[in-house]
Amino acid sequence: MVTMKQLRYLDALARHRHFGRAADECAVTQPALSQQIRLLEHQLKLQLVERLPREVRLTADGEEIARRSSRILTEVRDLVDHAHHRSAVLSGTLRLGVIPSIAPYVLPKALPRLQARYPELDLSIRESLTATLLSELSAGALDVILIALPIAPDEREVETLPLFEDPFVLAVKAGAFDHAAWSPEQIVANAPLLLLEEGHCLRDQALAFCRGVRPDMQARFGASSLTTIMQMVASGFGVTLLPEMSMAAEALDPRIDLLQFHAPSPKRDVGLAWRRSSPRKADFAALGEILRGCADEAHGNAPLIPPDQAGRKLPL
C-alpha cells in the first residue's frame, strides 16, 4: 500500500532533484529515502526516477505522480488544520509569506498587534518574490501570503482577499526640477527610470504605468530593495515610482522630493491569498483586518508636492 511517507519523500525529491538534500529535508538517511522511492515504484509498477551519476530526473510518470502527491499532501495538511483550528481564531502555527516591497513597512506594526490580540498564535514569516510565494503556497509550505493583486488567471486554486490600495508617488532628486512647467508624467517619460530587478512585481507595476518610457530611458541598474533605489535617486541617477506605504521609511532623506501624480494616480492593490481548500478563512479575515489597519498608518506623512506644482526638468 502506498504510504504518506512515500509521497512525502517523492515530493521532496521532486523539489530538490537530489537524494541527499531530499533526505535532509525529511530527516532520514539517503539510503532510507531511496529505498522508499524504489518501494513506491514497485507498488505503482512505474519507473518514477532516472538515477544518473550527477543528477536525479523524474520520468514523465514521476512528474505526474509527484504533482498528485503534492496535492494529496496539501489536502492532508488542510485537513489537520481544520481539526486544529475549528474553535479559536488565529491560534497555533500560521505560515505567512510576504513580498519584499510590503514586508518592512507593514509587519513591524502588525506583529506586535497580532501577538497582543492573539497570544496563542505561532506566526512564522517568509519574505520572497511573488512567484516563489505562490509556488510554496500551492505546495502547502505556506498557509497565506500578502502580495500585490491580482494574481495570474491560471492560479485557479487560489482565493484572494483585497485589503487596501497603495498609490505610487514619484521620487526625484531634490532641486532637480523647477516646479513650474512639467508634470510628473512628463518627468517619468524624460528622466532615467530606476527599477527593482527582474522578478519583483513592483517592477512590473511600474513598467505597466510607464508604458511610454523608451527602453533607453530605463536605467541599466537593478536593485533588490527600495532602500538601494532611493539612495540612487538621492544621488541623482534617476527617478522612481515609490509606494506610499514606504514613504515614512524610505523618503525622509532631504535630498529627495516626492511628487504626486494627476488623478487617477498609479497604484497597486494589496491583499491576501490562500488555497481554496484551506479551512482557515476566518483566520485570514482576522489577519487581514489587522494588516489593513497597519497599512493605513504605514503611509506616513512625508511631504508631497502636488501635481499642479510639478515642473520644468533640469539636468539630473
Query: Which has more pLDDT, 212 or 272?
Result: 272
**pLDDT, average across residues 194-202:** 84
Q: Report pLDDT digits (tens) over 32-57.
A: 999 999 999 999 999 999 988 777 89
pLDDT for 51 equals 86
Check pLDDT > 50 for residue 312.
no
pLDDT for 303 equals 61
**pLDDT, average across residues 241-255:** 89
pLDDT for 214 equals 53
- Would you tell me how many other CB atoms lie within 10 Å of the CB of residue 272? 21
CA distances for 32 relative to 19, 29, 69, 109, angstroms: 10, 5, 19, 45
**pLDDT, average across residues 204-219:** 68
Locus of grid cell 523608451: 214
**pLDDT, average across residues 263-289:** 92
Q: pTM (2 decimals)?
A: 0.74
Cα gap 2→82, rounded to integer Å: 24
Report DSSP state, residue 309: G
Q: Is 16 helix (H, G, I), strand (E, B) or coil?
A: helix
Domains of the chain plus CATH, in order, are 4-83 (1.10.10.10), 90-164+270-298 (3.40.190.10), 165-267+301-313 (3.40.190.10)
**pLDDT class of 240 with cuts at 50, 70, 90:** very high
Q: Report pLDDT digits (tens) over 275-284.
A: 988 889 999 9
Query: Which has more pLDDT, 125 or 204?
Result: 125
Cβ distance 273 to 147 under 8 Å? yes
Cβ distance 261 to 217 under 8 Å? no
Residues above pLDDT 70, as percent of the chain? 86
Check pLDDT > 90 for residue 213.
no
Roughly how many angstroms between the first and final C-alpha of the chain, as a whole number?
Answer: 69
